[in-house]
Amino acid sequence: MQYHLAPLFCRPWTLNGITPRLIESHYEGNYGSALRRLNAITEELEALDPATTSAEVVNRLKRDEAAALNSTLLHELYFASLGGDGRAVPETMAAALVRDFGSTDRWRQEFIALANALAGGSGWVLLTYVPRDGRLINQSGADHGQNIAGGIPILAIDMYEHAYHIDFGANASAYVAAFMRNIDWAAVQGRYEDATRVAPPRPLEQKQFAGVPAMTVEEVKAMLDSGERVQIIDARPRHYTTRAQDIMDGAVWRDPERLDEWIGELSKTDPVVTYCVYGFHVGCETAIALRKAGFDARYMAGGHYAWKAIGGKVRLFE
C-alpha cells in the first residue's frame, strides 16, 4: 500500500512569529521525507518474503517503518495544532484541562516545561487522550517512539531542531512560546471530542456469571479500610492451597467443595465477599451458592492475584 500525503492543515501566513519559510521547509523537507521514507520501507517490506528473509532484516525494516509512520502521523498532528490564537481555550477543552490538570495554566506550565526540557535534543511533547481512563495526559519522548498504547494524541509540538532553527536559531524557548501563541484550540477541541468517542478497552466479560454481583478489589479494600463489617471467604480450591504462600489479610480460607460444612458459621446480616485464585470460576460459584442460601454474597473480581496486584495486605497462609 501507498501512504498518501496530507495537505498542510494550518495557514502559514496567519501564524504569529513563525514564518512561512520555516513551515514550508518543515513540511516539505521533514514531513515529506518521513512520508517518502515510509513508502519506500513499505514497498521493501511488501516485496520481501518473510519466510526466507532473515529475521534481523525484517525486524530492522519493521522498526524503521514504525519510526517513519510515527514521524508522519506526528508531523500531521503538529501542523494541525497550529493556526489559532493560542489563548482562547474553548469551553469543553478548558473543562477537560481543568479536570485532568487542575487548571489550564497548570497544564500549560507542564507542557512548556516538557518542551523546554527537549531543547538541544529532539523529540515530541504531546497532549494525549487515554480512552481507558477517559483522561488527558502530557507525554514527552525522545525521537518518534514514545506513544502511550491506545492513547490518542490531540496536540503536538515538534522539538527537533529543524522545527525552529530557521526562525529561532538555538533559542528553543522562544520557539515554544511562539508555538503556544499559535495553538488552534478549536481544532484541538474537535480532536478531543472525537477521541472521547473512542470506547475504552473492552472489560473482561464472564457471560456465565453475568448476573452475579461482583466487587472490584478497590471496592473491597475501601470497605475494609472504612471498617465496614464484611465476611471475606478465600475459596481457592484445596488442591491449590498446597502451593499457596499467602492469603488476603482479613480473609478466612474455606474449602469450596465443602460449603455445607462451613456455611453455618456465616452471619446472615453482614455481607460476604468470596474470591478464588484469578476470579474466573470458583469464587463466582461460591457466591452463587451463598446467594441461593440467602446470603448477601458477592465475588471479588480478579481474585487473590488482583488483590495482591493493588498492593492489598496479605499474611502467611498456614
Residue 209 within binding range of Fe ion, rule CB under 5 A: no
Residue 30 within binding range of Fe ion, rule CB under 5 A: yes
**Stretch touching Fe ion by CB under 5 A, among 110-118, 154-162, 232-240, 301-309:** 154-162
Q: Compute the least distance from the CB of residue 115 to Fe ion, in Å.
A: 13
Residues 10, 80 contacting (CB under 8 angstroms): yes
Residue 158 within binding range of Fe ion, rule CB under 5 A: yes
Q: Compute the least distance from the CB of residue 108 to Fe ion, in Å.
A: 22
Q: Compute the least distance from the CB of residue 158 to Fe ion, in Å.
A: 4
Nine-digit cell string for 295: 446470603
Q: Compute the least distance from the CB of residue 122 to Fe ion, in Å.
A: 9
**Stretch touching Fe ion by CB under 5 A, among 14-22, 113-121, 155-163, 224-232:** 155-163
Number of residues located near Fe ion, criterion CB under 5 A: 4
Task: Return the amino acid letter for 242.
Answer: T
Residues 144, 153 contacting (CB under 8 angstroms): no
**Stretch touching Fe ion by CB under 5 A, among 61-69, 130-138, 153-161, 209-217:** 153-161
C-alpha–C-alpha distance, residues 52 and 58, integer Å: 10
Q: Compute the least distance from the CB of residue 41 to Fe ion, in Å.
A: 18
Distances 221 to 2, 147, 276, 297, 301 between C-alpha atoms, Å: 52, 32, 16, 16, 12
Residue 210: CB partners within 8 Å, gap ≥ 6? none
Residue 25 within binding range of Fe ion, rule CB under 5 A: no
Q: Which residue has the cell 513551515?
A: 23
Q: Which stretches of the chain are assigned E, i.e. beta strand?
A: 123-130, 135-142, 152-158, 214-215, 231-234, 246-248, 251-253, 272-275, 297-300, 314-316
C-alpha–C-alpha distance, residues 71 and 255, integer Å: 57
**Stretch touching Fe ion by CB under 5 A, among 160-168, 180-188, 281-289, 308-316:** 160-168
Residue 185 within binding range of Fe ion, rule CB under 5 A: no
The long-range contacts involving 41-44, CB below 8 angstroms and separated by at least 24 positions, are 41/65, 41/68, 42/1, 42/2, 42/3
Q: Compute the least distance from the CB of residue 222 to Fe ion, in Å.
A: 47
Residue 122 within binding range of Fe ion, rule CB under 5 A: no
Residue 167 within binding range of Fe ion, rule CB under 5 A: no
Q: Which of 79, 111, 160, 175 binds Fe ion (CB under 5 A)?
A: 160
Q: Compute the least distance from the CB of residue 213 to Fe ion, in Å.
A: 52
Per CB under 5 A, residues contacting Fe ion are: 30, 158, 160, 163
